[in-house]
């Protein structure tokens, strides 16, 4: 087992005073660290807390916010709720799929974007709605999709020099 992973998991577990009741918070912190829940980290977590891997996987698969697969740096959510759907959300989804060459649940080859769909984002008046890395983009059009994605790609280039 990777000592670096073990060390990071131990620091997170210690932050929660090794309480089994804090398992969801611990998983959230592990996911924040790795952008998903790596198997190696979950194995060590189970040993560290004395919790079975089955219990950990039960929680990790129950909550949609957890991912057992590596995700992109930026998570894109497309709302397919009724209000967004009738305003053209499917066209927005299809545009993102074409632009990034991925389907919902997939991550781009460069690990920059992961695409997911949701049933409602709670901002129906802004539909169709797309959220990128927690930033809401309302009244979406196909033309806006590429501009938004380009902004994130350019930010990445500027950060990496």
Q: What is the pLDDT of residues 11-28, one digit of tens each?
A: 999 999 999 999 999 999
Place of tokens 């998983």: 27
CATH topology of domain 74-160: Glutaredoxin (3.40.30)
The closest of 101, 92, 105 to 145, measured between CA atoms, is 92
At the top level of CATH, the class of 3-62 is mainly alpha
Q: Given pLDDT bands bounded at 50, 70 and 90, which one contains residue 35?
A: confident
| Same fold: 3-62 with 74-160 | no
All structural domains of the chain with their residue ranges:
3-62, 74-160
Torsion of CA 37, 38, 44, 46, to 10 degrees: 40
Determine the Cα–Cα distance for residues 82 and 125; give it in Å rounded to an integer.
Answer: 11
pLDDT per residue as tens digits for the range 110-150: 999 999 999 999 999 999 999 999 899 999 999 999 999 99
- Mean pLDDT taken over the chain: 93
Q: pLDDT band at 158, cuts 50/70/90? A: confident
Closest of 131, 157, 133 to residue 145, by C-alpha = 131
Inter-residue long-range contacts of 26-31, CB under 8 Å, 24+ positions, other chains counted: 27/56, 27/59, 27/60, 27/66, 28/65, 31/65, 31/66, 31/67
* Cα gap 64→81, rounded to integer Å: 16
* Nearest of 118, 91, 94, 96 to residue 107 by alpha carbon: 96
Query: Based on the number of CB atoms within 10 Å of its own CB, is 84 exposed (0-12), middle (13-18) or buried (19 or more)?
Result: buried
Name the pTM for this structure: 0.77
């Amino acid at each position: 087992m990777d000592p670096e992973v073990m060390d990071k998991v131990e620091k997170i577990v210690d932050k929660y005073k090794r309480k089994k009741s804090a398992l969801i918070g611990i998983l959230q912190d592990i996911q924040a660290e790795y952008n998903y829940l790596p198997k190696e980290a979950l194995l060590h977590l189970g040993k560290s807390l004395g919790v079975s891997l089955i219990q950990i996987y039960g929680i990790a698969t129950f909550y949609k916010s957890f991912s057992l697969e590596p995700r992109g740096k930026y998570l894109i959510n497309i709302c397919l709720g009724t209000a967004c759907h009738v305003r053209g959300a499917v066209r927005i989804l299809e545009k993102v799929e074409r632009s990034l060459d991925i389907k919902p649940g997939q991550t781009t080859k460069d690990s920059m974007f992961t695409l997911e769909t949701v049933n409602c984002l709670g901002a129906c008046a802004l539909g169709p709605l797309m959220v990128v890395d927690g930033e809401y983009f309302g009244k979406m059009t196909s033309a806006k999709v590429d501009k938004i994605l380009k902004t994130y790609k350019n930010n990445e280039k500027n950060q990496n020099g």
